[in-house]
Amino acid sequence: MSKKEKIAIVGAGAVGSTAAYYLSQDSNLEITVFDYGHGQATKAAAGIISPWFSKRRNKAWYKLARLGADFYPDLAADLEKTGADTSSYQQTGVYLLKKNEEKLQELLDLALSRLEESPIIGQIKLLKASEAQEKFPGLQGFEKLLYASGGARVEGAKLTQILLSASQLSYVNKEVQIQPLGEGYRIDGQIFDKVILATGAWLGQILTPLGFKVDVRPQKGQLRDYYFENLNTDAYPVVMPEGEIDIIPFDNGKISLGASHENDKGFDLTLNQGILDSFQNQAQTYFPHFEAAEQKSARVGIRAYTSDFSPFFGEIAELPGLYVASGLGSTGLTIGPFIGNQLAKMVLGQPTQIDPADYPTNKYIKKSN
């Protein structure tokens, strides 16, 4: 019997847990996942999947974002085949609000122009306030909104849990470092043939000791979850008003509200109730019931940004067999599982659906002198 190839994945957020899931389907591989979990963006994420209304001109990013949204139903179908739970992803639709009605028409036209390459957007239409109430009773503070039925929300923590439990792997809850050997890499006293670093905002901490400069900075994000005993929120659409706040309904009466984008807090994970209270004040314009929630709790996580806001993934040229992904920013739950899937293909030597050269690691990871 030939020896199994040993693969380590450091970081079990959206990227790492999806890579682990796909790699673990190959019985010739032995997979170990190391995850510290501290500050993980995936479990703190709002979970909105709706990239088609973005006016960002970065074509490589948009391609990744639309393919990331397309990938969710494929992932759900793969999970379903093995009998795993698929409920972490739900296409309940999205409501977009703009103060200026002309902007709604612009967004409608933009989404219609993208519908052919992204049929997943679904039905797109302008709704009057009374029509919008049908799917989200009690929503107010606007005259019209734009609805897209394909918009979705994902529970990040649940998704990673499902992926990891549907995989054959060893899981180690620990912060680790990596040591390159002539061949392979040592992590936590074990030697691995290949490694994926899916460490999000913490990529610099793990690569700097190896003599690299990493262009990834942290951004703190906080949000609050509200629980309503008497609301059946299961099919409520996500609401995206103009500005920082979004309203994200989940199953069983849970509605999340956030999130902050704090660039000056480093890796700080302290909750700031003042910021969360101000979100609640803004959101009451649209849904006055937040005040009456039976229970409230908060989440905080750290997003990863590059200096030009572009994500990157692939092998590090100087370290063969070492693959990375980071810089996913505020749309990382949209693109993370797809990137994890593409990284798994790279590790397996299979063709990828997108060209990693468009998301080059050497632009953001450089040898320090």
Q: Is 314 in the site for ligand FAD (CB under 6 A)?
A: no
Strand partners, 196: 9, 323
Closest CB to ligand FAD among residues 105, 352: 352
Q: Compute how many residues bind ligand FAD; rule: CB under 6 A.
A: 43
Sign of the alpha-carbon torsion through 199, 205, 206, 208: positive
C-alpha distances in Å from residue 114, one per residue of 66, 94, 358: 10, 16, 21
Smallest gap from Cβ 341 to ligand FAD, in A, equals 12
Question: In whole angstroms, what separates CA 367 from the centre of its chain?
Answer: 28
Q: Is residue 207 a contact point for ligand FAD (CB under 6 A)? A: no
DSSP line for 299-368: EEEEEEE-TTS--EEEEETTEEEEEEEE--GGGHHHHHHHHHHHHHHHHHTPPPSS-GGGS-GGGTEEE-
By CB under 6 A, which span of 8-16, 73-81, 98-106, 161-169 interacts with ligand FAD? 8-16
Nearer of residues 16 and 150 to ligand FAD, judged by Cβ: 16
Whole-number Å distance between alpha carbons of 363 and 67: 22
* CB of 166 closer than 8 Å to CB of 20: no
**Count H helices, E strands: the chain?**
9, 22
Q: Residue 333 Cβ, how far from ligand FAD at the closest point, in Å? A: 3
At 347, phi and psi to the nearest 5?
Answer: -60, -35
Is 113 in contact with 105 (CB distance < 8 Å)? no
156/241 with CB nearer ligand FAD? 156
Does the footprint of ligand FAD cover residue 40 (CB under 6 A)? yes
Q: Cα 72–114–111 angle (5° rounding)?
A: 95
Nearest to ligand FAD by Cβ — which residue?
Answer: 332
Shortest distance (Å) from residue 132 CB to ligand FAD: 20
Of residues 9, 23, 31, 48, which one binds ligand FAD by CB under 6 A? 48
Decide if residue 38 touches ligand FAD (CB under 6 A): yes
Q: Is 37 in the site for ligand FAD (CB under 6 A)?
A: yes
Maximum separation of any 2 CA atoms in the chain, in Å:
68
**Per-residue x/- mask for ligand FAD, residues 167 to 206, rule CB under 6 A?**
--------xx---------------------xxx-x---x
11 binds ligand FAD (CB under 6 A): yes
Give residues 218-277 in contact with ligand FAD (rule: CB under 6 A).
221, 223, 258-259
Q: Which range, of 19-27, 37-45, 84-92, 138-146, touches ligand FAD by CB under 6 A?
A: 37-45
Cβ neighbour number for residue 318 with a 10 Å cutoff: 14
Q: Does 120 bind ligand FAD (CB under 6 A)?
A: no
Beta carbon of residue 128, minimum distance to ligand FAD (angstroms, whole number): 27
Residue 336's CB is within 10 A of a number of other CB atoms, namely 32
CB of 311 to ligand FAD, least distance (A): 8
> Cα 272 to the chain's mean position, in Å?
23
Q: Using CB under 6 A, list all residues that contact ligand FAD.
A: 10-16, 34-42, 44-48, 156, 175-176, 198-200, 202, 206, 221, 223, 258-259, 301, 303, 328-334, 336
